[in-house]
Structure 1
Amino acid sequence: MSFISVFDVMGPNMIGPSSSHTAGAARIAFLAQKMITPPLKKVEFILYGSFARTYKGHGTDRALLGGIMGFSTDDMRIRNSFDIAREQGIDFSFTPNEAETDVHPNTVDIHMVNEQGQEMTVRGESLGGGKVRIVEINHVKVDFTGEYSAIIVIHQDTPGVVAYITRCLSERNINIAFMRLFRESKGTTAYTIVESDGHLPEDIVESIHRNTNIHDVMVVQM
């Protein structure tokens, strides 16, 4: 039996009106922007299910845009996120997709392009009460909630790489809460996600990146 606290029922501190459609949306975008080098130049939000139907009335659009600029769920600037994004020179768009129905009802794809031309697509689901789950990175299925600090390592699916990542973390006394590997198929691109209940040192990126089979390393600090 899962435990639900009174805080889950009431929801987080947030700019309303809905924990699922605003706080959850802001949280997904907040996590997404931590996975790409700033500053962002362009972002497209593709909305599914109830997100697609009600994103204007529930403020999902403002929340997503605020989150992508790094605003927390209770940041008053979310109300003016459209104007702030334009001031920052971010090109943004919202595209409802009601044709695809085999998804969680509160789902969004976030396609980001930074000023260096790097592109990344993140899919997130808003689960209610402000809780979220990231379920895809660049169309590879993953699963993490953002409740812990995380290291996301994109690498070649080659023997010894996961052991190398673990050794790097052990040398820095990083406590591993969860560690999972996701991949497109055997021998192709893989994503190792390590969640820790402690602070992650920023220089861990450089340490892990020394392996030639590592393509990219991202730290999502909570």
Structure 2
Amino acid sequence: MNDISMFDIIGPNMIGPSSSHTAGALRIAHLAGKLAHSKILSVTFILYGSFAWTYHGHGTDRALVGGILGFLPDDERIRDSFRLADDAGLIYQFIENTTEKDIHPNTVDIILHCENDRKIELRGESVGGGTAVIRRLNGVDIALTGTYPTLIVHHKDRKGVLAYITTVCSGIDLNIAFMKVYRKAKGDSAYAIIEVDSPILPSIVDVLMCHDAIIDATIVPAI
């Protein structure tokens, strides 16, 4: 039997007509925006399944742009997200993919182009009740929900890297609730997704980056 949360019954506190198509979509984009270390210049949304068919009527498009701008699901500015994005100089576009069928019906690929030539590609799924999961990040299959304060460490798959990461977390008294590691292949690019029980101090990033196998580290606050 699957667990059922309170949000599956009463729904989230949100702006918009659909918890899956509005709140869940915004959550995906909000998480995507948190992964950018620099200003986002442009964003492309590739919509699949029911997202592609109904995104105009359900406000999925406005929610996605609002999420990139950092709005939460109950933010009334979601209604004006297009205008606010235009005012901020953010370029955005939507592409409908109605041919790929073997995919979760509420799926969006997000491609971010940021300053300093930084590019981020991810895939997210809205899984019901306003919740969402990031399933892919820069070609690596992962699982990121944003339920807990999360530390994402992009690293080379080498011996001793995970021991270093956990030692750093312990040194600043971070209690790890969940930790999973995802990699393309042995010795290739990998991501450690570390969910903790308390807010994460930004100073941890500088310490982690002292290890020569760590490529990047990102803090994602709980949403």
TM superposition score normalised by structure 1: 0.98
Given the alignment of the two structures, is residue 179 of structure 1 paired with residue 179 of structure 2, yes or no? yes
Structure 1 residues 129 and 184, CA, compared in 2 at 3 Å: closer, same or farther? same
- Please give the secondary structure, in 2, of the residue aligned with 1:33: helix
1:111 and 2:111 aligned: yes
Q: Pairwise CA RMSD of aligned residues?
A: 0.9
Distance 1:3 1:192 in 2: 26
Q: 6-15 vs 162-171, which deviates more?
A: 6-15
Q: Which letter maps to 1:166? A: T
Matching residue of 2:40: 40
- Paired residue for 2:31? 31
Count of residues in correspondence between the two structures: 222
Matched residue SS, 2:116? coil
Q: CA deviation at 1:115?
A: 2.0
What amino acid maps onto 1:68 in structure 2?
I
One-letter amino acid matched to 1:133: V
Q: Which runs of 5+ in 1 are unaligned?
A: none
Aligned mates of 1:204, 1:122 — CA distance in 2: 24
1:69-117 Cα deviation digits (max 9, x unpaired): 0000011111011111011001100001111111111000110011222
Deviation for aligned residue 1:134: 0.8
User: Aligned partners of 1:153 and 1:125: how far apart in 2?
Assistant: 21
Displacement, 1:19?
A: 0.2
The runs of at least 4 aligned residues of structure 1 exceeding 4 Å deviation read: none
**Structure 2 CA distance for aligned equivalents of residues 61 and 87 of structure 1:** 17
Give the drift of 1:3: 3.2
Unpaired stretches in structure 2, ≥5 consecutive residues: none
Question: What's 1:87 paired with?
Answer: 87
Structure-2 residue corresponding to 1:190 = 190
SS in 2 for 1:85: helix
Q: State how far apart, in whole Å, the 2-side matches of 1:88 and 1:191 are.
A: 31
Work out the CA distance in 2 between the residues paired with 1:15 and 1:49: 22
Q: Deviations over 1:112-132 (max 9, x none)?
A: 011222000111100111011
